[in-house]
């Protein structure tokens, strides 16, 4: 059985649209023999991109064919729209030797601007969420996940510098994890040695 895509991480997207994946996602792609057969497309229902391999591609084709047969051989406009969304708004890509996949320029909304993404494993696929969008408008669970990753990144960065830092949660309430619009990430303040 193929290794599922599990876990999450914050990953960098370069100005050219190259997404640098974490090791766990690269290992899963390799174990699925999908290094050369990956696709990036629109999510069916959410405001994010999705990365998938031939397993999910064939599953999507099979679902469409079953619906078409169930409808008596013709596909209603809604099914054709979904088929167009699944395959017309997708682009083939591959995992390069440095753990990156290329997102087609026409799928990369922030083209020409380097930024970070929250990448979430979903079993047969990987969701790619714009980190700033998640922090400002994402669901409670996605914001919580992003904040936890940012805390870890900030702590690691502080440890590498030898400083001690504390998190300022002025813009984030831990109980509701509400985030003020217009502010991205967590501000960090140095903690002076006593």
Structural domain that includes position 163: 141-190
**The CA-based dihedral angle spanning residues 132, 134, 138, 140, taken in that order and rounded to the nearest 10 degrees:** -120
State the pLDDT at residue 169.
Answer: 34
Q: pLDDT tens per residue, the chain (194 residues)?
A: 578 999 999 999 999 999 999 999 999 999 999 999 999 998 878 889 999 998 888 888 888 888 878 877 666 777 778 778 778 889 999 999 999 999 999 898 877 788 999 999 999 999 999 999 999 999 999 999 999 999 998 888 877 765 544 443 333 333 344 444 444 444 444 444 44
* pLDDT (0 to 100) of residue 133: 94
pLDDT of residue 74: 66
How many domains in the chain?
Answer: 2
What is the predicted pLDDT for the residue at 161?
66
Q: What is the CATH number of the domain that holds 36?
A: 3.40.1550.20
Given 105, 131, 157, the domain boundary residue is 131
Residue of 127, 107, 104 whose CA lies nearest to 8: 127
pTM value is 0.74
Buried b (16+ CB within 10 A) or exposed e, 3-30: eebeebbbbebeeebbbbbeebbbebbe
Q: Is 1 a domain residue?
A: no
75 & 170 share domain? no
| Same-domain check for residues 157 and 117 | no
Q: Are residues 152 and 75 in the same domain?
A: no
Domain's final residue, options 131, 153, 180: 131
Please tell me whether residues 99 and 19 are part of one structural domain.
yes
List Cβ neighbours of 126 (8 Å cut-off, separation of 6 or more): 5, 21, 25, 50, 51, 52, 119, 120
pLDDT at 183: 45
User: Does the residue 136 lie in any domain?
Assistant: no
Residues 145, 126 share a domain: no
Specify whether 28 is located in the same domain as 46. yes
Per-residue tokens: 35: 């290094």
- State residue 174's pLDDT score: 36
Which of 109, 131, 153 is the C-terminal boundary of a domain?
A: 131
Q: Distance between CA atoms of 183 and 194, rounded to whole angstroms?
A: 31
pLDDT at 162: 58
Residue 3 is assigned to a structural domain of this protein: no
107 in any annotated domain: yes
């Amino acid at each position: 059985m193929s290794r599922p895509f599990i876990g999450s991480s914050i990953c960098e997207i370069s100005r050219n649209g190259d997404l640098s994946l974490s090791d766990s996602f690269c290992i899963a792609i390799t174990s699925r023999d999908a290094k050369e057969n990956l696709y990036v497309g629109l999510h069916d229902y959410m405001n994010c991109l999705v990365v998938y391999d031939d397993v999910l591609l064939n599953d999507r084709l099979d679902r469409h064919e079953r619906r078409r047969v169930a409808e008596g051989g013709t596909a209603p406009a809604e099914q054709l729209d979904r088929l167009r969304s699944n395959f017309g708004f997708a682009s083939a890509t591959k995992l390069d030797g440095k753990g990156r996949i290329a997102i087609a320029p026409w799928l990369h909304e922030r083209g020409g601007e380097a930024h970070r993404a929250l990448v979430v494993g979903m079993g047969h696929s990987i969701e790619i969420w714009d980190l700033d969008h998640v922090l400002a408008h994402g669901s409670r669970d996605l914001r919580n996940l992003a904040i936890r990753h940012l805390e870890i990144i900030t702590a690691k960065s502080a440890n590498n510098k030898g400083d001690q830092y504390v998190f300022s949660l002025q813009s984030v309430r831990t109980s509701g994890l509400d985030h003020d619009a217009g502010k991205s990430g967590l501000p960090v303040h140095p903690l002076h040695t006593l």
